[in-house]
Structure 1
Amino acid sequence: MLSQETSAFILILFVDIVLTQCPVGCKLCSGSTCTSCESSFFLSNNLCLPCPENCDSCNSLDDCTLCKPSKFGLQAKCNFTCERNCLNSECQDDTGFCTQCKPGFYGQQCTNNCSVCANERCDLRTCSNGCTNGYYEFTNGVETVCQKCSFNCKQCKDGKTCSICNNGFHLYKLNDSVHCVSCLQESQCSNYCVIRGCNQCQIHDYSLVCADCPEGQTFNGETCGSHTSLCSKECSTKCDSTGICQGECNEGWTGEKCSEQCNSKCLKCSKDNGNSCLLYKETSVSATTTLAETVTQQQKCVRCEDEVNNFTIGFFSGIGSCVAIEVFAVLFYLIRRRYLASKTPQEYKPNDVTRNDSEL
């Protein structure tokens, strides 16, 4: 049986432990007053209160600072779950964007399948090499994804403009959209065009245009018509109501109406400047000829050797002629002196030289 002293000591120790033990959630305390809280608790009025269920840490019931794994939404008590295609169910606490995707998926929340990417290659946020046939790239302001073209469209520029149809279908323009419709005669489908009088259609600047009108006709924006219309036959696409070409001019032509010819050295020139060659004619440049760059019709390219010949001719036909005469006179004088000096003493008379020199 314990002595009275031992019993008193145990009682005092028990009371001290009870009185100094921190409440649940308190990391540090003074008596019953909490000064610091454990994880998943927040301090309020000297007490440590539990955070919302899906918060790992918080400042209050409405202010989570860290979500539990696989959860996000700091401003919503972390009540949202990361997308299932997020690798290891990990996503950003505030946005829910996946930190990595499972293989075969891409996008901010890994909801896009890489099978719609060219060669099925993708990185975290987009297709590496663009979209595969039947899809087009679409940017929603946050990310770029591949979306499906319209029905039976093989290639498209956007959801309303198809450029190439699947086999058995041809392009058809309806209002401001270009779609694919079934061919009535499949054997002629590849060349079929809904533009009246057109042999071959194509997409240009998101519009359906005629790329091949019959001989003597050109595309005026609606149909193939006579060249007597406002649109020049040298316009590669179509013209507006005033005859201004909406696309590029054919090779060799320039001007807003494609009615002027390029500089003679140009095979193809700028639409805005006929002297600015985009492609030179083959005969304009050779290995033995040096061309000066030209931007105006007043400048002219000439062969460098022609310049040398012109200088030589000018030299001898001008000042050079005077110099040549003086040289010949001096040579004649020296030859004559040499000849007189070679005479015998009987034949030589000093005044001959003087006389003959004066005669010169």
Structure 2
Amino acid sequence: MYRNANTRISGDSSRSVCAFFRVSSSNVDNIIVDIGSAKTTSVGGCNRHFALGVADATYINVFGLCDMFDNNYIFVGPDTLYDGNFHQICITYNSTNAKLCVYRDAQEPICITRNNGPYNTSLGNVRIGWWPDDNRQFVALGGGLIRSVSLFDSEISQDCVIQEFNRALAMNTTTNTTVWSNTTESNTCNYHGRWHMGECVCEVKFDGQNCSMCDLGYFNYPNCYQCSDCESHNGTCNYENDTCICEDYTRFTGLFCAECQPGYYGSQCTNSTQLLFLQPTNVSDVSARDGIDIILIGAYFYFSSLTNVLCLFQSSVTWAVVANSANVSTVVCALSNYTEYEDVYVSLSLDNGTTWVNKSYNSWNYSVSIHISCPTNGSCLRGECRLGSCECPTGYTGYLCDQCDIGYFFIISTVYSWLRECTPCSLYCQNNGTCANSTCICRHGFTDQMCDKCQENRFGSLCLPYPIIQSIDPPSINDIGGINLTLYGLNFNSSEYIGPRSCKFFSDTHGINASITEAIIVNDSLLICSTPLNLLNSTIRWFLRLLIDGDEQYYSTFSLQV
């Protein structure tokens, strides 16, 4: 691509383009030459171009780029363009009469009058063998080659076209334009870029003709690390030898100058007394309680006596211990009787607490974290793990806090159906239920896990088998009376109620002015009683209620339709 090479042809002005090339069937829909905008068609480049393209063996395309401005399939046959020879195609355009002519070699032109919109070509780039969007290039496979391209800022005559053809024929076999092969081989650019329009476009971090060196700001090809990784560690990037040069090579070394020379330690690589790190930095609460050796590692630990070597432990409490052992680079102190769960920060003194050894890194490098220990064969169902066992909350007991304590019983959780909760017997084992074996055992008539519901066909606060009328047959009775009613319901013949059954008919809820008839028990859910004669006034509301041994069964009250 030749940037800003088109400085004369713009808008809808007259112009001519001649190209001398060789194509094959591999070049279908390839662009030979395009002039115009640097913008692609998708971002404002529509109709800002003027391009010659190959349609097939006997047709060419003239693009304004965007379908409404294109003139496609202009005939240049009958002889094929795929004969292996070079051919010249010239396009001439007259902006006054919108006449577009196409010449093949020295033949008579094929001319059309454009009836689509005028061109609006931009001054700008010249692309040879590339679509304006740079997404497809001229294919060299099959012998494809573009030998020459000529641009004119006017409509040229047929004589001029013939002169251009003769000039192209007189050229030697070496092309005077650059043609790029359709290669996609990454190794052309050392696998650090892509081959694009005759050169390597390198990835970030890489540079050079073949992407074979690091870009500015990077070093150590082919890794190409950021120079900031060197410069933040007492080094300077040296672009000539592609290395990180340590400013003080007597103390610093390594690829990033982040390592210390022998005999130097810490982040600043010094040869002074210093504490570097601890081991271990994460211990169990059991180990912290029962005693575990904390190893302090550093450099140049000089001391007069082991009794002067102290480890200071700090958390919610602070205490010091004398080291168990020590040498020039290692001190061992025991962490014991510690039952808290806060991190413990460790310091070192070599002179019985008068001074404390410098720490080379951030304080978190010198802390011991305490983690809780659960039972060896599982975790606590309830409560918390602590010191290898479970601390159970109120109401729970057992090795894993999975049992109810005395005075508590299990109920199914209202949140998770698979979870059982321990509930106080005194509060939730109701209706004279009895707690036994972590269960609320209900007395007769009651049910559910807290004994707060009645068993089937039992009702009321005492969960008794009260007789219940659910329906009658016939559902409607007349005011004459004297007919048998069939009552359907529950508990008509319960063994818990002894005595004769009878039916009471009354006209108000208080049962006054009532008439009582005998009831015949068929079974526990079927009972027959007769209506009183000439008593049921249809202008008032009537009710029916069962009596057992003369006692009214209020749960059985039923409204009649008279």
TM-score, structure 1 normalization: 0.28
Larger radius of gyration: 2
More strand by share: 2
More helix by share: 1
Which gives a bigger RCO, structure 1 or 2 (Cα 8 Å, sep 6+)?
Answer: 2
TM-score, structure 2 normalization: 0.20
